[in-house]
Amino acid sequence: MLTPIPIRDNTAEPSAATSSRSDDRIIAKAIALLEQRLYATGPIVTTPQAARDYLRLQLMQEPSEVFAVVFLTTQHQVIACETLFRGSVDTTEIHPRVIVQRALLHNAAALIVSHQHPSGNTTPSAADRALTSRLRMALDLIDVRLLDHLVIGKGEPYSFAYHGLL
């Protein structure tokens, strides 16, 4: 007669020590992923020319007027660049409240705003000047610096900061 060989059950639950080590590895990976997301760094805007070139590339191809905002950290690292408003061939309705809300959402310390004139003319309108003033006042209330407002068109973009209007 044959004697039965005991069969080991591999489906038994792992020991508490093994489970704890596995959990610790999972927790460590989760923390690393959260740190990557929370402290992700974008490019640093090191010069006004770099900001102008970047926004010019982003906005030149638009067939109608759009208004974009670059949200920055205190060290001028890009948090996000968003097109917040779209308009017609010669106008866009801008709401400073929306820009303030987005700045707070991104926890931004500074902003660069920009819009393009599909006509190619980079001369700011009276409405552009009034908006810049209102936006600067609104952002000052929440301690967010408005670094520049760029008007993109044919040739060199118009910079409110360069022309002493900020």
Give the long-range contacts of residues 124-131, CB within 8 A, separation 24 or more. Answer: 124/149, 124/151, 124/158, 124/160, 127/91, 129/165, 131/94, 131/96
Tell me the pLDDT tens digit for each residue of 12-28.
556 666 778 888 888 77
Q: Kindly state which CATH superfamily the domain 48-159 is placed in.
A: Cytidine Deaminase, domain 2 (3.40.140.10)
pLDDT per position in the chain (166 positions), as tens? 555 665 655 555 566 667 788 888 887 777 766 556 555 567 778 788 888 888 888 888 888 889 999 999 999 999 999 999 987 777 778 899 999 999 999 999 999 999 998 888 999 999 999 999 999 999 999 999 999 999 999 889 999 999 999 8
Q: What is the pTM of this model?
A: 0.74
Tell me how far apart the alpha carbons of residues 166 and 163 are, in angstroms, rounded to a whole number.
8
- Start-to-end C-alpha separation, the chain: 99
pLDDT digits (tens, 9 = 90+) for 81-112: 999 998 777 777 889 999 999 999 999 999 99
Cα separation, 137 vs 11, in Å, equals: 67
DSSP string covering 44-64: B--SHHHHHHHHHHHHTT-SS
